[in-house]
Structure 1
Amino acid sequence: MYDGIPEALQENFGLYMAQKSPRKIKLLNNAPVQRLEMKWRTSNKNVDSGVFVMHHMETYMGYTLRNWDCKFAAEGIEQKRQLEKARKIYAAKIVYSEINILKDHMKTEIKFVNQN
Structure 2
Amino acid sequence: MQQMLDNIMGGSYDSKSYGGQPRMLTTALCQYLRETKHPPAEDLSSCKPTRLELKWRTRNNSNDCGIFAMRHMEYFKGETSKNWNCGLRKESPDQVYDLNHLRLKYSAKILLSDLNTNKEFVLDEVRQFKALDLASRKEHMKDAFKRINTRVTYRILII
1:52-89 CA distance string (max 9 Å, x none): 11111111122222111111111111111100100000
Which residue in 2 is equivalent to 1:104? 120
Aligned residue pairs total 116
Q: From the two aligned structures, give the one with the greater helix fraction.
A: 1
Pairwise mapping of residues 33-72 of structure 1 onto structure 2 (< 5 A)?
A: 33-72=49-88
1:15 paired to 2:31: yes
1:13-41 CA distance string (max 9 Å, x none): 22332234432111111110222211111
How far apart in 2 are the matches of 1:94 and 1:16?
A: 28
| Gapped regions of structure 1 (runs ≥ 5) | none
Instruction: State, as a whole percentage, how many aligned pairs show the same letter.
Output: 33
How far apart in 1 are the matches of 2:25 and 2:62?
A: 17
The 10-residue stretch of structure 1 (99-108 or 85-94) with the greater mean CA deviation from structure 2 = 99-108
Aligned partner of residue 45 in structure 1, secondary structure: coil
The 10-residue stretch of structure 1 (13-22 or 59-68) with the greater mean CA deviation from structure 2 = 13-22
Change (3 A) 1:34 1:94: same
Aligned partner of residue 50 in structure 2, secondary structure: coil
| Gapped regions of structure 2 (runs ≥ 5) | 1-16, 131-136, 141-159
The structure with the larger Rg is 2
Contact 2:111–2:119 (8 Å) recurs in 1: yes
Between the two structures, name the one with larger relative contact order (CA 8 Å, sep ≥ 6).
Answer: 2
Change (3 A) 1:24 1:4: same
Change (3 A) 1:97 1:7: same
How far apart in 2 are the matches of 1:91 and 1:20?
A: 34
The 10-residue stretch of structure 1 (79-88 or 10-19) with the greater mean CA deviation from structure 2 = 10-19
